[in-house]
Chains A and B, each alone.
Chain A
Amino acid sequence: MANDKTFKLLGIFFLAILAFNFPILNLFGKEKAILGIPVLFAYIFLSWAVVIFFTARIVESKKKSKTQ
């Protein structure tokens, strides 16, 4: 089971833990806004989308390593 896919997904998992926890989150915890959107709000939802995007890319990559 230990193949590239597994390690990539583990990588995303750990990055997500970092990105979605303090102290990183607190960096964006100021009240400033960009284009009227609060920074924290924008940061969380953008990172969220990034996690989805990369998970999808890895999982849907034509399963070449899956059959190992």
Chain B
Amino acid sequence: MGAGIIIFISIAYVAFLFLIAYLAEKRGKQGRSLVNNSVIYALSLAVYCTAWTYYGSVGRAVTSGMGFLPIYIGPVIIAPLWWILLKKIIFISKSQRITSIADFISSRYGKSTWLGIIATLIAVFGIIPYISIQLKAISTSFDLLVTDHTPLYRHSEIPFYLDSALYIAIALAVFTILFGTRNLDPNERHEGLVAAIAFESVLKLIAFLTVGLFVTYWLYDGFADLFGKGMSTPGLSRLFSLEEAGINGWEWFWLSFLSMSAVMLLPRQFHVSVVENTNPNHVGKASWLFPLYLLLINIFVLPIAIAGIDQFPGGAYEPDSFVLSLPLSQGKDILALFVGLGGFSAATSMVIVAVIALSIMIGNNLVLPLVLRTQTFKGAQYSNMSNRLLGIRRISIVVVLLLAYGYFKAVGEQYSLVSVGLISFTAIAQFAPVVLGGIFWKRATKAGALCGMLAGFGVWAYTLPLPTMVETGVIPIHFMENGPFGIGWLKPYALFGLDGTSHISQAAFWSLLFNCGIYFFVSLYTSQSPLEISQADLFVDIYKYRKGSTDYDVMRRQAKVQDIRILLNRFLGEPRGNLLLNAYENNQRIDLSRQQVAGPDLINYAETHLAGAIGAASAKIIIGSITKEEPISLEEMFKVLEQTKEIIQYSKALEKKSAELERTTMQLKEANEQLKELDRLKANFITTVTHELRTPITSIKALSRIMQETSGLPEEQKQEFLAIVVSESERLTRLINQVLDLEKIQSNQEDWTLQPIDFAEVTSLAYSGLKQLMNDRQISHSLSIRAQPLIVLGHNDRLTQVVVNLISNAIKFCKVEEGVINIRLQKTGDTAVLEVEDNGKGIPVKDQKIIFEKFTQLNDEARGKPKGSGLGLFITHSIIQKHSGNIHVESGPENGATFIVELPLLEEAGGLAE
């Protein structure tokens, strides 16, 4: 086949891709996005399948049978977790406008510039071998289609200007620049690119299935026939058993682990799955459509490998090119061309996306931060930064592709596609600890991430790419065989004496062990800056922030509105900048032209949008150049915490207040109840008193009337009637006096000037006043005063009243005949104790309390009507209380009652009296 035709078809194919991209972008602008579709999303993820899959898998299967599979098993294992993992990463990235995996890592660890640079370097150096194998695949398939057989020359032996691979690299660079750097999108979204990638994924799948079906069902009679041939051929049957093909569990595990991390963290995978994602819910469908795609593209690999071995027993073709050489050897040129086109699409899609992703990283996380460190961006010389940004990206695209070509020419050629690709996978796996830790472990620090990644990368560089340099002569051969300086345990392929496993699994083991271990321990022994803490919180708890849409206000910053306008215009172009500010004005309902100073809100808004164009770290620096930036210091953070604490305390105080209020309400309620009770008692009392008043009045009235109306009343009777009238009147007076007394005592109106008096004297005076009455009633009585004087602070008349009341009570209630009253006065400790004992009926225990209560009167049916008003004891009680003393009664039924009064003596009671 002529080279001209193949070049023409390739160019036509590329033109067609541009057409697809153009149409997709046009539709996107009209709001009918083609790309906003979960199937397209899943297909774009299939950029995972590169020339490695397309050509390399067969090559790998020829030597190790099913050993090619872990690379696809890994993604199949991890895909069910995408709904959890990938979605979280997407949410985080969208909220932070993250543009690449390096940006993600830098942003998580406090928008660290250095971390961004390191991650970018790891990605670039890690991916270059990978890109080089795409160049190799395209150029060998080109050679094969043109010459019909594996070329006799090696690319490393011909001058570069005659080398087809160089021109392929240049063509790819041009192609990528046209695709990826036409304009600067603040979200780094390239709808056209995604559409083209999805189309390429369909094409490569159809092409591979076509060649698979051709080989299996046209060359042979189906799977059983092919496998039967394989199993009967000596030396081939080993391909169907993992152990015999040289794959052990350790190896298998590491390969699937590496591919697990690669399918999520490779810069191009991150780009299509996260940055280009239009809707996080597309992840769901992709998590089963993508494994299905992998299943389909892998099912014919082993049959093709067996067919290749069977068809070319002499090794006429490289196993890596069986896919193409099988149809070619059958003279199916058109089919071969189609298959070649499929391989071309597999390789180009990978190169384009990978290089675009790398160029974004190099621009945003490597070049810009270094440039920006030294400059402020207010000067007029940077009239249009967005063009400069695009320029940086274009240059990095060319540089990356030339580096890949250089690697291919120097070392890539003598290694198989898969072994070179795995070097890249191992490099990218170094991101796994910091990314996984980053989204689940808040404590992870920048220092931990930096040290961990550097250690992992160092071990990787030493154990994988370094040995491949041996053939170029950079590294002497004895270095590999004996270790550096003859130190055996430092041999790159058997580090620390670990041999017996493949280079990849030992490199993966050591690099990840160092990476994880150092990341973990350094994180534990270092602390985070305030910005790191807030970013960590945002990454780990993204769902919390999404729900509350809490805006992050970590930086207390101020800037001039005019400066922000200038910045946005420079980096995003004037139309875009104005659009953003107008949108902000509309959103916040403010007029920016009237404001001089922009608050943190607007600055954050500008920063996130700038971050979309130039990465988080760069945006932070640029915004920093125009703001008076005060990252929250620890003191301030404490202040915030304290404020929170104060608020908590305040709310606690409020709670206490409300509890108090409740208590007061309860007390009020109780008081109210008491008042009601009092009211009721008063009403009772009034009823009682009026009743008491009416009784004597009635009898006085009745007797007086009898005497008035009955003229002939004998003198004797008249005298008797008059005596009753007098006694009733006295009773009336007594009652009224008591009520008045009570009123006085209760209302504090009386002059309560207390003076030192001798209680013993008061008692004996009162006693002698009543002696006659007791003698009249034939009551035997006694008074024993055991200590004298008993000086108390008191009111002479009132205390006399107390003693009189008690004795009168005793007189009233003691037995009618043989009445006995004993009065004892003594000193107990610092109190004077007066006991008045009678031998009456006594007071039941249940009544002993209430007899002193206000307005109560013992009403006992059995005893008949009480002889007093019922106020005497209450008045007594009140008086005693006024003297800071107390009174109680001891009594058993039918045993008499003893009233006991205790009054504090003066020496001790000095301060207590009023």
Contacts from A to B (Cβ < 8 Å): 1, 5-6, 9-10, 12-13, 16-17, 20-23, 25-26, 29-31, 33, 35-38, 40-41, 44-45, 48-49, 51-53, 55-56, 58-60
Contacts and interface: CB of A to CB of B under 8 A. Distances in A.
Contact of A44 (B69, B241, B285): B69
B365 to A, nearest CB: 30
A52 B84 contact: no
Q: Specify the main secondary structure of chain B where it touches its partner.
A: helix
Nearest to B69: A44
B79 A55 contact: yes
Given A45-B299, A51-B80, A26 B249 contact: yes
B73 interface: yes
A58 B288 CA distance: 10
Interface in B233-286: 237, 240-243, 248-249, 252-253, 256, 284-285
B586 to A, nearest CB: 30
A44 to B, nearest CB: 6
Contact of A10 (B81, B224, B287): B81
B225 A21 contact: no
A23 B76 contact: no
Contacts of B84: 1, 6, 9-10
A30 B249 CA distance: 15
Contacts of B78: 13
Contact of A38 (B69, B240, B256, B291): B240
Interface string B130-147: 000000000000000000
Contact of B81 (A9, A48, A53): A9
Nearest to A23: B249
B399 interface: no
A21 B253 contact: yes
Contacts of B14: none
B666 to A, nearest CB: 43
Contacts of A30: 241
Contact of B66 (A9, A22, A36, A41): A41
A40 B431 CA distance: 33
A37 B285 CA distance: 31
Nearest to B73: A20
B668 interface: no
Contact of B256 (A9, A13, A21, A53): A21
Contacts of A35: 224
B545 interface: no
A19 to B, nearest CB: 9
Nearest to A38: B240
B222 to A, nearest CB: 8
B295 interface: yes
A9 B224 contact: no
Given A22-B253, A26-B249, A44-B69, A52 B292 contact: yes
B415 interface: no
Q: Which of A10, A23, A40, A49 has the most chain B CB atoms inside 10 A of its CB?
A: A40
Contacts of A10: 80-81, 84
B76 A16 contact: yes
Interface in B274-316: 284-285, 287-288, 291-292, 295, 299, 302
A56 B80 CA distance: 9
B83 A9 contact: yes
Given A36-B227, A44-B66, 13 more contacts: A9-B80, A10-B81, A16-B77, A20-B77, A20-B256, A22-B249, A25-B252, A26-B249, A29-B243, A38-B240, A41-B227, A52-B292, A53-B288
Given A1-B543, A20-B256, A45-B299, A36 B224 contact: yes
B2 interface: no
B204 to A, nearest CB: 19
A55 B288 CA distance: 6
Given A13-B78, A52-B291, A59 B240 contact: no
21 contacts: A9-B81, A10-B80, A10-B81, A13-B81, A22-B252, A29-B241, A33-B228, A36-B228, A38-B227, A40-B242, A41-B227, A41-B240, A44-B69, A45-B295, A48-B76, A49-B295, A51-B76, A52-B291, A52-B295, A55-B288, A60-B284
